[in-house]
């Protein structure tokens, strides 16, 4: 009867939405961590996508940029691919290897990775709000004993919220510039960027960069 009354008052809607968000976050986590991030396979070396990737760079390069063969897995690397020694594969549009996911973030799972970060941030902010609303501060040792776990949970949520927010903002910035974490951090080591007349030959404007990435 109590559940029915709470349902009629709409009090079950918020916890139900929170549980669904948590479930969505968990499903996205497993999806991103278990899926193929864009491994380069030997039979895919001559795909048309490679020619498209070259055409973005070649007109703006000071010299001819040739595709290199990976010294580890011996496949011809497409433009913007990199070999990950942890995954033992070359990954298309390699961004980084995420230790939390135990998988690379690359061409195929990068948009889902962004969705995961977005949902995770909403869950953390909601959880932080719930934890904060449950605190009523009093200056007594007895109060601290009864609320120590709630306080620790709140500070833990705040820490993870800051980390996820920084990750989300930094990735959105890189996506808006049409660059990857690896290209941003190792610009001087990448041949097709070193030989380019522009700092980022892939940049086509913020709107088009975001559209091509998410759509």
pLDDT (tens digit, 9 = 90+) per residue, 12-67?
Answer: 788 889 999 999 999 999 999 999 999 998 766 555 444 444 444 444 444 456 67
pLDDT of residue 31: 96
pLDDT tens per residue, range 115-145: 999 999 999 999 988 888 766 666 666 666 7
In the predicted model, what is the mean pLDDT of the chain? 83
Range ranked top by mean pLDDT from 109-123, 151-165, 193-207: 109-123
User: CB of 89 within 8 A of CB of 192?
Assistant: no
Classified as helix, coil or strand, 100 is coil
CB 180, CB 91: distance < 8 Å: no
Higher per-residue confidence, 191 vs 166: 166
Q: Which of 24, 73, 87, 98 is catalytic?
A: 98
Q: Is 98 a catalytic residue?
A: yes
Handedness of CA 57, 59, 64, 66 (dihedral sign): positive
What percentage of the chain reaches a pLDDT higher than 70?
79
> How far is residue 87's CA from residue 172's CA, in Å, rounded to a whole number?
25
Structural domain spans, the chain: 2-37+102-214
List the helix and strand counts (H, then E) for the chain.
8, 4
């Amino acid at each position: 009867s109590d559940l029915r009354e709470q349902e009629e008052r709409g009090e079950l809607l918020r916890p139900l939405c929170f549980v669904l968000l948590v479930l969505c976050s968990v499903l996205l986590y497993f999806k991103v961590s278990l899926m193929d991030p864009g491994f380069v396979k030997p039979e895919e070396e001559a795909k048309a996508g490679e020619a498209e990737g070259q055409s973005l760079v070649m007109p703006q390069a000071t010299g001819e940029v040739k595709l290199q063969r990976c010294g580890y897995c011996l496949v011809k690397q497409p433009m913007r691919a990199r070999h990950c020694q942890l995954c033992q594969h070359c990954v298309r549009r390699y961004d980084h290897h995420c230790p939390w996911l135990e998988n690379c973030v690359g061409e195929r799972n990068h948009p889902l990775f962004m969705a995961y970060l977005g949902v995770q941030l909403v869950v953390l902010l909601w959880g932080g709000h719930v934890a904060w609303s449950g605190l009523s501060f009093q200056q007594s040792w007895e109060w601290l004993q009864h609320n120590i776990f709630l306080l620790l949970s709140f500070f833990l949520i705040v820490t993870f919220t800051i980390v996820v927010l920084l990750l989300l903002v930094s990735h959105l910035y890189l996506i808006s510039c049409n660059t990857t974490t690896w290209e941003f951090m190792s610009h001087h080591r990448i041949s097709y960027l070193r030989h380019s007349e522009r700092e980022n030959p892939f940049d086509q404007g913020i709107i088009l960069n975001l559209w091509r990435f998410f759509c």
